Amino acid sequence: MRSARVFIEERALEYPLGKELWDRFSARGPAPTLIGSHNRVGLPSLKGFKAYAEAKRTLVVGVRKTLSFQSCKPSAHYQLPLVTSCPGMCEYCYLMTTLGPRPYVRVYVNLDEILGRALDYVEKRAPEVTVFEGAATSDPLPLETLTGALAKVITAFGRTALARFRFATKDDGVGPLLDLPHEGHTEVRFSLNTRTVIRRHEHRVPDLERRVAAAARTAAAGYPVGFLIAPIILDSDWRADYGDLLEELATALREAGLPGGTPPTTFELITHRFTPKAKQTIRGIFPGTTLPLDETRRRWKMGQFGYGKYLYRAEEMEEVRSFFEERIAALFPEAKILYLV
Ligand code: SF4
């Protein structure tokens, strides 16, 4: 991540990592500013896209105070908060709505406390296995060279029989993770999309080739890998484009020389959907977006938490389902589709 400005919480300097980051940024820039709380950050007074883009280039180094982890059903038992937000600028990102006015990137220096708390949770749930999700409010991988947080968790969980970790990423900086003693306890899920969707709607994230290559290297290092294809956007060429994506992925995994060709992997498939609030937020930040946000072409569905979303119509969903089930079965015989929504 190339930050335009760095804020460091005073308390963070009491931790070795906070001190190290202070020294690092003081020596190489941008010069860090000391702040009292990582929740109170002074940013340039801007609006819309400019405000969002500047916030995403702002790094805040702080101490994570809340050490009770939120639940993360159904994919994991708990969230594991190592980072908040990410430097990417995807137009459809749900964090735009959930992080509201504070989309800047936050890393935490009290990693031993966070990890210690995670291991307490594991102990309490024994003899059951406890699964933690590391990407519920972030993409943690682009920040790994700053904090080493993922390496710490992966190594500790590798030593803990009942702990499992999973995170999703659009980044390709997997190098520092490849030789860790993960013992198969961490699953890395790569978030992919067609070249068209990436070109139109994803910004400041690695391109498809780099993500696919990173996935192949990660699988070759023995990690369980998964693929998150989201949001699936049904433009006029979607069948050809998603077909190409799956073929390219299968080829890369085969060429990685894994025993048995493609590994037993998982797919999570999420079609594009939006809430009225998300549409308003997206239009406020990306006024020229070409995301398909026309309600008249969608079906409205009320959710269990009291708010509704616009989904693709039932017949389109059926088409998507049979397309992906067929292609994935043909190209990845060992793979499992965890869900398609
Ligand atoms: S990489 Fe993920 S977390 Fe970051 S902006 Fe894109 S969708 Fe959001």
Out of 98, 139, 143, 171, mutate this one to test ligand 1's pocket (max ligand atoms within 8 Å of CB): namely: 139
**141 Cβ closer than 6 Å to some ligand 1 atom:** no
Please tell me the distance between residue 192's alpha carbon and the centre of ligand 1 in angstroms. Answer: 11
Please tell me the distance between residue 207's alpha carbon and the centre of ligand 1 in angstroms. Answer: 13
Look at residue 307 in the predicted model and tell me its pLDDT. 83
Which atom of ligand 1 lies closest to the CA of 96?
A: 8
Q: Which of 39-43, 158-162, 181-185, 248-252 has the lowest mean pLDDT?
A: 39-43
Look at residue 2 in the predicted model and tell me its pLDDT. 84
pLDDT digits (tens, 9 = 90+) for 130-152: 999 999 999 999 999 999 999 99
Residue nearest to atom 4 of ligand 1 (CA): 88
Out of 57, 85, 89, 93, mutate this one to test ligand 1's pocket (max ligand atoms within 8 Å of CB): namely: 93
Residue nearest to atom 6 of ligand 1 (CA): 90
**168 Cβ closer than 6 Å to some ligand 1 atom:** no
203 has a pLDDT exceeding 90: yes
Contact between residue 86 and residue 139 where contact means Cβ atoms under 8 Å apart: yes
Please tell me the distance between residue 168's alpha carbon and the centre of ligand 1 in angstroms. Answer: 10
Residue nearest to atom 1 of ligand 1 (CA): 88
Enter the pTM of the model: 0.96
**CATH number, residue 84:** 3.80.30.30
Please tell me the distance between residue 196's alpha carbon and the centre of ligand 1 in angstroms. Answer: 17
Which atom of ligand 1 lies closest to the CA of 202?
A: 6
259 has a pLDDT exceeding 70: no
Q: Quick one: 303 exposed, middle or buried, by C-beta within 10 A (0-12, 13-18, 19+)?
A: exposed
Instruction: Give the mean pLDDT of 249-275.
Output: 88
**87 Cβ closer than 6 Å to some ligand 1 atom:** no
Look at residue 140 in the predicted model and tell me its pLDDT. 98
Residue nearest to atom 2 of ligand 1 (CA): 139
pLDDT digits (tens, 9 = 90+) for 45-96: 888 999 999 999 999 999 999 999 999 988 899 999 999 999 999 999 999 9
Please tell me the distance between residue 244's alpha carbon and the centre of ligand 1 in angstroms. Answer: 23
Total tally of structural domains belonging to the chain: 1
pLDDT band at 249 (very low <50, low <70, confident <90, very high): very high
pLDDT band at 265 (very low <50, low <70, confident <90, very high): very high
Look at residue 38 in the predicted model and tell me its pLDDT. 76
pLDDT digits (tens, 9 = 90+) for 276-333: 999 999 999 999 999 999 999 999 999 877 889 999 999 999 999 999 999 999 999 9
pLDDT digits (tens, 9 = 90+) for 147-195: 999 999 999 999 999 999 999 999 999 999 999 999 999 999 999 999 9
Domain residues for 70? 5-340
Which atom of ligand 1 lies closest to the CA of 168?
A: 2
pLDDT band at 102 (very low <50, low <70, confident <90, very high): confident
Look at residue 260 in the predicted model and tell me its pLDDT. 65
